Every structure is written in structure tokens, then in C-alpha cells.
Amino acid sequence: MTDLQAPVWFITGCSTGFGRELAKLTIERGWPTVVTARGKDRVADLAEGRDHVLALDLDVTNMKQVSDAVSAAERKFGRIDVLVNNAGYGYQASIEEGEEDEIRAMFDANVFGLFAMTRAVLPGMRAKRKGHILNITSMAGFMGLPSSGYYAASKHAVEGFSDALAHEGAPLGIKVTCVEPGPFRTDWAGRSLKQTPSTIADYSETAAARMGATAGYRGRQ
């Protein structure tokens, strides 16, 4: 039976990686958990036979889906206590060779989608004077390495946003935590990573070399 006093978790990007592993832990503890993915069939197994788990379709770049998902969670569980902004992916390119469409698409997911999710849960948390927002950023939120300039920029944006939100939320009982992982054995360096290969010889020992190294350590982090 679900503990009615247990924290209600809402986690984005639960199909693989950190999102899925965290969801498994909260579910095992019996905590009400909203698991989301761009196709909820990819997280349906997490909810099967469990009344305390709600699986939802959620593309964080789709503002209607963001609003609908938060509303569905609040209807089922009455509130959202913890939001985990995990959805996102990596993009590698030299700065010069970065592609506009790819850069903007990544920022839509990593930055603007995270912003939208946060705005959507804040009214409920503010009303209850309680909540915790966990943003999965990256060590790239502190530094920019060759080929990861645009990815690092997206994570730096989340860090700055989180700092401001922490100040605004503190008097309202809303906490903010950034989690900044280094390399882990998730899909980040595989299916979830997009690259624009460098063809300019001048970047062969910087951006191109690091893109090659990233592909090489996949599964061995």
C-alpha cells in the first residue's frame, strides 16, 4: 500500500540512464512516482501492476505535454514534491562547425524544456510551501571541453538558472539541487549523443580527437 505521506516524485527522461535507475529506486521504496518518456510505452513496465506509479507521454519541448503531464500527476497524487529534470542529451561539434538546427534542438530539450517543467511545478510547490527540484546537469556545467562547447553552454545555463531559483525558492520552502555527473555508463555517449563530425584539419587534435575518444569509451566509463 502506498504511504500517503511519502514524497511524490516526477521524473523526466525515464526510458534509460539516470532517469530510469532513479525511478526504479523510488518505486521500490513505495513512493508515488511519475515516470515519463517521449513514448510512455518505453516506461510502461515500470508502472505495470503498481498503483503508486503513473506512466506518461512527455516530450519536454512540447509545452502542451508539459502542462498536461503536470496536471495528470497532480490529479492522481494531489501534488508533486520532487521534480527531477533529467531529460536531455549531448551534442558534439567544433564551435565553428556547429549546426544551427542541432544546437537549437539541444537547447530546446536541455534548457528550455527544463525551464518549462520547472515553471509548471512551481505553483503547486509554492502553494504548499514545500518542494525540491533536482536538475541533472553535468561536469560540463563547470567547464567547456573541445567539441562540447554547445553542450557545456546548455549546462552552464541550467547552473545559472538553478542558482537564481534557489534564492527565490528558499523563502518559500522550495529547495534546488544540481547533480553534475562526469562520464557514466549510460546512453549519453551512445544513442543519446549527436555529433557533427569535424572535417576541418585545424581541429583534428582538439574537437575531432575528443569526439573520437568519446565514442571509444562508450560502455567502459
Q: Which sequence positions are flagged as catalytic?
A: 151
**Rg over CA atoms, the chain:** 18
CA–CA distances in Å: residue 103 to residues 21, 25, 28, 90, 107: 28, 33, 37, 10, 6
Q: Hey, which residues does 82 pair with through a beta bridge?
A: 9, 132
Distance CA(180)–CA(61), nearest Å, equals: 22
Grid coordinates representing 152 are: 557545456
Angle at 134 between CA 133 and CA 138, to 5 degrees: 145
